[in-house]
A and B are shown apart, each in its own frame.
Chain A
């Protein structure tokens, strides 16, 4: 497993680079204001439909939540792009025993209130047009291990062009009070948030 690299300078360079490419590619990046508890770390759960997801949420994290960004990524990605570990990526390989180590590592990161851990429960890329969000079981292990030390936030991202030459990314955020939810409940609550976000997206008429 590849752990997060700690290098202040590379992180700053990556941050500037990501800010620049997001600004260049998107017309606008919209996100909801959400109350952040400064005494708790954040577990961010999001839908995964493109390479941009983590970059967009990286910016949202810097602008809104002001925590140290971490993201669980597939092993192939972290091996192919070695530098992403300095941006906060750590790897998970679903086919190996290493997987448990990665999940425990994520739970460990949540012990520090300065941290934010982003997990895509879908486990791989899906279309932006899916109606139901698949959840992989691993997320419950992270939640159980770090019980009570984190604030749970849901994110649902959509990218649309509408009347501009460049696309607009909209991130719907919602802080979810976490109280011992089991796997099915978590899945359903996220699904409700996602449906609601999707409905708002589809009602746009210009």
Chain B
């Protein structure tokens, strides 16, 4: 497992560059509102369907959720782009025994209420059109290991074009409660239900 090696300066410099890249590639990033609890760290669960997902999560963490951003990445992906290690990326290798270590590391980051850890619960890149979000058991392990207060937030993101040549991204948030009243099966059901409703609402999205 590769731990993160970020520092404030690099993150501060990277944020405007990230905003610039997103602005160049997308017309708009539209999100709905979610209640963010004060003095809670945030475990951000995202659907994983594109190369850009980590950037979306970073952008939302910085601009909307206002937390210090960390992200769990696949080990081979992180090794290819070690720069992400400098802006909060740490690795997980699902095939090795170290997997527990990475999960514990994520839980430890979440002890600090200023932090946000983004995790792709699907564990793989899946299509944007699926209606079933698969959630790996690792999430259960992370949440149970957190000692401090942590809020769990999920979002479904969808890419749409409509009239523009550039795509827009629609984020639909779901507040999944805190680590104090956590139940894995309930989380799974909640997220899947939310995703189905989000897909339905997406059809009537404003444009």
Within the complex, the shortest CB–CB distance from A31 to chain B, in Å, comes to: 18
Q: In the complex, A166→B116 CA distance in Å?
A: 27
Q: Provide the residues of chain B in CB contact with A50, threshold 8 Å.
A: 160-164
Is A39 positioned at the interface, with any CB of B under 8 Å from its CB? Answer: no
Q: Provide the residues of chain A in CB contact with B124, threshold 8 Å.
A: 205-206
Q: Provide the residues of chain B in CB contact with A126, threshold 8 Å.
A: 203
Interface of B is mostly: loop
A129 touches B165 (CB 8 A): no
Q: In the complex, A153→B130 CA distance in Å?
A: 26
Chain B residue at minimal CB-CB distance from A53: B161
Is B17 positioned at the interface, with any CB of A under 8 Å from its CB? Answer: no
Within 8 A of B (CB), among A44-98: 49-52
A125 touches B163 (CB 8 A): yes
Q: Provide the residues of chain A in CB contact with B161, threshold 8 Å.
A: 49-52, 128, 159
Binary per-residue interface labels of chain A (5-26) against chain B in the complex, 1 for a CB within 8 Å, 0 otherwise: 0000000000000000100010
Q: Provide the residues of chain B in CB contact with A204, threshold 8 Å.
A: 126-127
Is B9 positioned at the interface, with any CB of A under 8 Å from its CB? Answer: no
Pick the most buried of B126, B127, B160, B204: most chain A CB atoms within 10 A of its CB. B127
Q: Which of B46-54, B89-97, B183-191 lies on the face that meets chain A?
A: B46-54
Known contacts A161-B52, A162-B51, A203-B127: A129-B162 contact under CB 8 Å: no
Q: In the complex, A201→B127 CA distance in Å?
A: 7
Chain B residue at minimal CB-CB distance from A203: B127
Pick the most buried of A49, A125, A161: most chain B CB atoms within 10 A of its CB. A161
Q: Provide the residues of chain B in CB contact with A129, threshold 8 Å.
A: 129, 158, 160, 199, 202-203
Chain B residue at minimal CB-CB distance from A125: B162
Within 8 A of A (CB), among B151-207: 158-165, 167, 199, 202-205, 207
Is A167 positioned at the interface, with any CB of B under 8 Å from its CB? Answer: yes
Q: In the complex, A195→B126 CA distance in Å?
A: 18
Q: Provide the residues of chain B in CB contact with A21, threshold 8 Å.
A: 165
Within the complex, the shortest CB–CB distance from A199 to chain B, in Å, comes to: 9
A49 touches B127 (CB 8 A): no
Q: In the complex, A164→B128 CA distance in Å?
A: 14
Q: Provide the residues of chain A in CB contact with B207, threshold 8 Å.
A: 125
Is B131 positioned at the interface, with any CB of A under 8 Å from its CB? Answer: yes
Known contacts A51-B161, A129-B203, A159-B161: A164-B129 contact under CB 8 Å: no
A130 touches B50 (CB 8 A): no
Known contacts A49-B162, A159-B161: A202-B129 contact under CB 8 Å: yes
Chain A residue at minimal CB-CB distance from B77: A163
A127's contact among B25, B167, B203, by CB below 8 Å, is which?
B203
Q: Provide the residues of chain B in CB contact with A25, threshold 8 Å.
A: 165
Is B19 positioned at the interface, with any CB of A under 8 Å from its CB? Answer: no
Q: Provide the residues of chain A in CB contact with B25, threshold 8 Å.
A: 165
B125 touches A162 (CB 8 A): yes
Pick the most buried of A49, A50, A158: most chain B CB atoms within 10 A of its CB. A50
Is A160 positioned at the interface, with any CB of B under 8 Å from its CB? Answer: yes
A163's contact among B125, B163, B167, by CB below 8 Å, is which?
B125
Is A145 positioned at the interface, with any CB of B under 8 Å from its CB? Answer: no
A51 touches B203 (CB 8 A): no
Pick the most buried of A131, A164, A202: most chain B CB atoms within 10 A of its CB. A202
Known contacts A202-B129, A203-B127, A205-B126: A164-B162 contact under CB 8 Å: no
Binary per-residue interface labels of chain A (121-144) against chain B in the complex, 1 for a CB within 8 Å, 0 otherwise: 000011111110000000000000
Q: Provide the residues of chain A in CB contact with B158, threshold 8 Å.
A: 129
Chain A residue at minimal CB-CB distance from B199: A129
Q: Provide the residues of chain A in CB contact with B162, threshold 8 Å.
A: 49-51, 125
B51 touches A165 (CB 8 A): yes
Identify the 6 closest CB pairs spanning chains A and B, nearest first: A50-B161, A161-B50, A202-B129, A206-B125, A204-B127, A202-B127
A52-B165, A198-B129, A205-B125 are known; give 5 further A-B pairs, CB within 8 A.
A50-B160, A51-B161, A51-B163, A126-B203, A205-B124
